[in-house]
A and B are shown apart, each in its own frame.
Chain A
Amino acid sequence: MKSKLISLLLASLLGLAGCGGGSGGNSGPPPPPPPPVPITQAEAYQFLNQATFGATPAEAQRVIDMRYEAWIDDQLRQPPSLQLPHLQALPPPQFMFQLQPDRADIWFRNVLHSHDQLRQRVAFALSEIMVVSQLGALGGQPYALASYYDMLARNAFGNYRDLIEDVTLHPAMGVYLSMLGNEKPDAARNIRPDENYARELMQLFSIGLVELNQDGSVRVDSQGQPIPTYDQDVIEGFAHVYTGWTYAGAPQFQDVFPTPTRQVLPMQLWPGFHDTGEKTLLNGTILPAGQTGEQDLAAALDNIFEHANVGPFIAIRLIQRLVTSNPSPGYVSRIAAVFDNNGAGVRGDLGAVVKAILLDPEARPAMPMEIDGKLKEPLLRLTQLWRNYNAASAGGRYPYNFAYILFGQGPLQSPSVFNFFSPFYAPPGEIRDSSLVAPELEIATEFLNTYMANYMFCQAFFWNQNPDPSCGEITDDTVLIDMSEELAIAADANALIDMVAGKLLAGQISTTLRSEIAGMLARLPQDQPAFRAAETVYLVVTSPEYAYQR
């Protein structure tokens, strides 16, 4: 606070000096720019909880030293930490589904320990927009899922047009939304193309159901009704585009047993199964008859990519995943403008979009208003704790294949293509009454919140030498947190609370939470450091203020 005041003073003094110099002619060099206002620990935490899998004191110091933009630029250069090489290095399993725990393991390893934190966070966001899931046919295709996630990570700062092409041709998506094996119409057999992918690519991954203004607001017609972006004819047009694709190297078009290799290669066109007729696309565009499958696909994805909705649509989705549930129209407009043109005339530059989202003034409020920020997803509550407490299992793995049960969500474990929660979810009460949304609250149910709180209890207490049978056996796979720093000072209640609040809340602990923890610590003997440390961590990680991303 003091240094901030001094720099403000300096800035104003320099400003005055500049004025005085102006009246006396232009002798001497221009005054140096004012030194930037130092970033506080709380500001660094706010930023890192948007850009990583959980702020830590060490990373906060890097942000303070580098400042936001240089930190982002450094992150944009980090190569992706991948999942597929890890799975491929493991011995082939007897049954494919047996590799799913290893897929969860490598996801946790990457998001907890990798240097490409921003890329991983954006890949996670994309995995909640362009959803495929282990729950279903892909349960038997762990290589496909790992490869899909890697594809998202590679494209996280690339161009959106490349991203949707890679998504479209990835066999994981092909299986999940049944474009794989989709055939041209056959009048003799009375079949027509599958409309699944045609519909969801537009509804969920790119433009949405209704026309949007650049600021994300819904355009309405003269009767005040939203204007649909497409109709059934357009869906059927795209459904015909997406015919003729199956696993690369498949022995037959309808292939039911994908090898590990076929799970990860982009789908391949079988021209005989592609419809070559005319096709109706968005905005009245008609694809001519007689094109190849590749030509049709390229033109169709261009048609979607050029739709005016993509900028505001993707802006809202990514802002909601990273920064706030309720961006202002101005914030959406600014990001949509960057999507439309990154400053060098390029449309769809996701690296520029992510950077603009994080550097926008609305992402960096000094004093968050009541609608700023968002609720943290359960996995992010967990990873922030784990990153701060060097969480590890004896066996070195994080095989949390059942994350979706334990926490209500897990990597590529959504119950449907509609993700774990809807971007439009508004809980009853003040949020809905104010026409606001809080997507993450859809899965913060009585049941799941309690389930997670009890998990945190086991995490803090039992798995640190206070056994309780209800938490289950400790195995080589049980992830433990390391509270040794807390144990060393646990006799001193204030120091203990300061330490935990410093790691998890940037020290911004409310007076209620502090006094309630202190009250409980007063009841726990000073010679029981493990209990005291556990109690402190437990009450912080289950608190509303920890669940809130400022």
Chain B
Amino acid sequence: MKQINRREFLKTSGAAAAFAATPGAAFAQGVGGGAPFDDYRALVCVFLFGGNDSFNMVVPRSDAEYGVYANARNELAVAQADLLAIDPLISDDVLYGLHPSMGSLRNLFDTEAAAIVSNVGPLIEPTTKDQFFNKNVALPPQLFSHNDQQDQWMTLRGRNSSKTGWAGRMADLIRSNVANQQMATNSSLFGTNSLQAADETVAYVMGPDGPQEFAYMSSDPADGILYEQAQAFGRIIGAEYTSIYERGFAAVQQRAIDSAETVNAAINSAEANAVTAYFPQQGPTRSQLMIQLETVAKLIAARDQLQMDRQVFFVATGGFDSHDDQNQNQPGLLGDVSESMAAFYNATVGISIADSVTTFTQSDFGRTLTSNGDGSDHAWGGNQLVLGGGVKGRHIYGDYPLLQIGGDDDVGGGRMIPTTSADQYAATLAKWFGIPDVDLDLVAPHIDNFMQRDLDFMV
């Protein structure tokens, strides 16, 4: 009798059905019986909106491979001599370099704090070029479309209709383990996002430098009219409303009232202020990304005050959709990523929490290797960065493809088929975060389709 394994079950019944059936038990109990965690861990997602041209971020610099790269990229190619050499612990005989604007990150790579995961992207199952063109492989829908592929990276939903994100599902899984936390497991400094969307928990959205508090209101009865104002405001928010839109709006206001004061007190604490020394307080490197990461560092520094054990932060920056003027804009974009992530890492070292904080990038997609004259177009696989004391750094994980137009990994114009899936990338991070192996398919629903459940880039 044929045994139906889980993978086939997911394929035949649709992952959505499996999803609907399982959460009840797993999501209600928490992981490992629901006991509180005995340590602190934070994941920081740096989302690069628009689609980072990451084959210019990590570039082969051996003559033969560089020649293939330069031929594909034409005027978009970074000059061989300008690449910042990196020195992986294990070499595949090809030498690699980082974009010349990423000096700070290169240093973190060589000191084993940072690693590269190469040619990763949304997949439902391992995919070859033949399968792609013969249409006998399940593919994520709407490849090469911004919002759909952002959604794939954030939700890993493949072709099912789930609306939750993988960080949201992690928060749901551990919610009984973190019952004492004073703020939500998921928080965003860059607006609403589907990475953190969940069924049972709600992500908290603050501004780049923290929450906004309702001015002219107070939770302290001694403050008289300001206290009365807050009470009246709260009763208005708490009233019964007939429309779903009023109720949705009121729910946001309620969360804003509930959290802002506590979170701001943490951000303004002495522990939090200690991290500002690691961030430029003025000048061109004080970017929006830098400001967001400084705020994250402050919240991590004040984690005890907020009784936080597990957190996922969402920060982001845009401008990566380089259809035009790529050579003019890319140095600034990648330089910002490098400087901001490095400052943040140094801050976590400074407050002795680096081993418990992992920063990782995601982006809509990689970009075409071929040029449209002065830029590149939407593609698929790309390279990502992971950084932190828990990262097995100074490695390039996955298979860095030969950047050959028309080669085995190219589905046209230099669109690389990912050789590592976003599910594997997320599952590796989720496992480090504390999700048991048995529950990883609830976080990364297609993980069972891949041989390697854990890319082994985390300790």
Contacts and interface: CB of A to CB of B under 8 A. Distances in A.
Interface of A: 136-137, 177-178, 181-183, 186, 189-196, 199, 203, 209, 225-226, 228, 232, 235, 254, 325, 368, 370-375, 415-416, 418, 422, 425-432, 434, 436, 438, 440-447, 449-451, 453-454, 457, 461, 468, 470, 510, 512-513, 516-517, 519-520, 523-524, 539, 542-545, 547-550
Given A194-B373, A447-B212, A425 B192 contact: yes
Nearest to A510: B239
Interface in B192-246: 192, 197-199, 202, 204-207, 211-216, 225, 228-229, 232-233, 235-237, 239, 241-246
Given A178-B324, A446-B206, A446-B255, A375 B248 contact: yes
Contact of A545 (B145, B246, B321): B246
A432 B248 contact: no
B215 A470 contact: yes
B377 interface: yes
23 contacts: A183-B372, A186-B373, A191-B373, A192-B370, A195-B323, A199-B378, A225-B141, A232-B144, A325-B245, A371-B243, A428-B198, A429-B251, A432-B163, A446-B204, A446-B260, A447-B205, A447-B207, A451-B207, A510-B239, A513-B236, A520-B232, A547-B246, A549-B245
Nearest to B237: A544
Contacts of B75: 189
A512 B236 contact: yes
| Interface majority SS (helix, strand, loop, mixed), chain B | loop
B350 interface: no
CB-based closest 8 A-B pairs: A445-B205, A194-B372, A446-B256, A450-B212, A512-B239, A544-B246, A178-B323, A375-B245
Among A226, A468, A547, A549, the most chain B Cβ lie within 10 Å of the Cβ of A547
Given A194-B324, A375-B248, A445-B191, 4 more contacts: A194-B375, A449-B252, A523-B228, A548-B246
B181 interface: no
Contacts of A468: 216
Contacts of B233: 539, 542
Most chain B CB within a 10 A radius of its CB, from A181, A182, A192, A451: A192
A516 B235 contact: yes
Q: Which of B245, B249, B325 has the most CB of A within 10 A?
A: B245
A195 B370 contact: no
A196 B377 contact: yes
B371 interface: yes
Contacts of A371: 243-244
Contacts of B241: 544-545, 548
A542 B50 CA distance: 34
B259 interface: yes
Contacts of B142: 209, 228
Nearest to A453: B214
Given A447-B207, A454-B214, A516 B413 contact: no
A428 B246 CA distance: 14
Nearest to B164: A428
Given A182-B373, A195-B372, A470-B215, A226 B141 contact: yes
B370 A544 contact: no
A446 B229 contact: no
B229 A520 contact: yes
Contact of B412 (A232, A445, A545): A232
A57 B233 CA distance: 27
B300 to A, nearest CB: 19
A510 B242 CA distance: 11
- Which of A177, A441, A451: most chain B Cβ within 10 A? A441
Contacts of B207: 447, 451
Contact of A209 (B145, B191, B199): B145
B6 interface: no
Contacts of A177: 323
Given A193-B372, A426-B163, A545-B246, A447 B211 contact: yes
A373 B252 contact: no
B215 A190 contact: no
Contacts of A461: 216
